[in-house]
Structure 1
Amino acid sequence: MLMTANSAELPPARTMSESELAALYRLMTWLSPSFPVGAFSYSSGIEWAVEAGDITDAATLRDWLSAMLTDGSGFCDSVFAVQTHRAVTSHDDPALRAIAELAAAFVPSRERQLETTTQGRAFIDTSRAAWPCEGLDEIIAACGGPIVYPVAVGLVSAAHGIPPEPALHAFLHAVVSNWISAGARLVPLGQTDSQRVLAQLEADVAATAKRAMAASLDDLGSATFRADLASLRHETQYTRLFRS
């Protein structure tokens, strides 16, 4: 084996603990495209944006998704996921209820409301059935009403003792991957172009997660008015492949 002068001085590679491996396994499963939350049915308004000519190729899809991620629902949903995780971890039921109510009210259109609440319920039901967790039912009850997708992810991750940062990165990767999948079918794009878009958004995902980890509920807000209009216009779109 080839040895360098400093090889003997390198510290041994860190081995992940059993709990860390379990958390990784669950995140890879829960935020996988194959996890049955019905994400493939929704485009978050991208279908109308393609019909309107706002998205025509890989470059315009990347720009649209970058805005949604950093200045729109991507950032806001990240804040809700992180704040939910912290409320569950600190056993603050009043705060958890307030976050769940605000997150449900923050959705800009009826179809997006249907999308995020349906996915939230499916995420909780499936993860609870496959990975029973002590105290999870009480945490869900404390929300007191509909649970949107980012709240569901933050809630279940916290209940299983998974740290918020990796949970948030996995959540954002799943959201962005679903957006790209919708765009790829609608534009359409090839698999290589789709992966290029995902790679180009890596820095935006990291930056959005970093902002959300440091943000409070007072920092919530979006500047993606065109994307919000797209989700509203989709409700009356004549031909539709997606539910939002």
Structure 2
Amino acid sequence: MNPDLLTLTQWLSPAFPLGSFAYSHGLETVVENGAVSDRQTLTDWIADILRFGTGHVDAILLCQSISGEDMADTARALAASKERLHESEAQGRAFVETVNSMSGAQAQHAPFPVAVGVAARGLTLAPQEVVSLYLHAFASNLVSVGVRFIPLGQSDGQKGLAALHPVILEVAAQAATQTFSDMASAAFGADIAAMQHETQDVRIFKT
């Protein structure tokens, strides 16, 4: 087995100190307004984000970063709202600081997908593999948000995550052959939900 796969799994594990559990990516808003209320609507919501929103954009940013491109400012410019930018920057900062501490590297702070891509340059893994695990961690965190906040049972949450596996593999495979010009987002409902979350009166999650 390639030991670099274990390294990447560790980086993207819920145990890695990124604070991912505190971010709902706007999901708190759509659960609050009833647009997401069960396993099916949660799975559909996350699938759209993976295919048409942050998942698609992050996948290309990550692949381009692995290939040596400097994508940090592009990632910041593409953030659809203040909270989205904060979410990506905060997790990226936590990731870089922890990896630097572990390895002695001196990587600079960057939005999360870029930070992972830069760190993954030193791994002997194909970009598609890195993106697949990155998107799985992203989807898993959103499923966890749904399990806690809708709420869903753990079994329903895991069924939903399993149903997203083909979508994750599809997006990762596409990103491995795409370029900067393929970067676009059309998950407008998710973007609007993230903007609305900024002024929500009662909030459990940071985004």
The aligned counterpart of 1:181 is 144
1:158–1:164 CA contact under 8 A, matched in 2? no
Pairing 1:152–2:115 present: yes
The alignment's TM-score, normalised by the length of structure 2, stands at: 0.96
Distance 1:57 1:215 in 2: 33
The aligned counterpart of 1:3 is none
The aligned counterpart of 2:167 is 204
In structure 2, the gaps of 5 or more residues are none
Distance 1:231 1:23 in 2: 34
The alignment's TM-score, normalised by the length of structure 1, stands at: 0.82
Q: Partner of 1:169: helix, strand, or coil? A: helix
The aligned counterpart of 1:29 is 10
- Following TM superposition, the consecutive aligned residue runs of length 4 or more in structure 1 with deviations greater than 6 angstroms are none
Query: Which runs of structure 2 are paired with 1:48-87 in the superposition (5 Å)?
Result: 48-87=29-68
Per-residue CA distance 1:170-228 (angstroms, 9 max, x = gap): 11111000011111111100100000000000000000001111110100111111100
Q: Partner of 2:121: helix, strand, or coil? A: helix
1:36 partner amino acid: P
The aligned counterpart of 1:194 is 157
Q: CA RMSD in A?
A: 1.2
Pairing 1:131–2:77 present: no
1:235: Cα distance to partner? Answer: 0.4
2:144 partner amino acid: S
2:54–2:185 CA contact under 8 A, matched in 1? yes
The aligned counterpart of 1:115 is 87
Larger Rg: 1
| Percent of aligned positions that are identical | 38
The aligned counterpart of 1:4 is none
1:161: Cα distance to partner? Answer: 4.2
The one of 218, 222, 241 equivalent to 2:181 is: 218
2:52 partner amino acid: D
The one of 128, 132, 135 equivalent to 1:172 is: 135
In structure 1, the gaps of 5 or more residues are 1-15, 88-94
Distance 1:167 1:131 in 2: 19
Distance 1:46 1:236 in 2: 14
The one of 187, 195, 205 equivalent to 1:232 is: 195
Q: Partner of 1:159: helix, strand, or coil? A: coil
Distance 1:218 1:106 in 2: 13
Pairing 1:40–2:21 present: yes
Per-residue CA distance 1:19-78 (angstroms, 9 max, x = gap): x2x201101111101110000000000000101111010010011001001111001000
1:33 partner amino acid: P
Q: Size of the alignment, in residue pairs?
A: 207
1:168: Cα distance to partner? Answer: 1.1
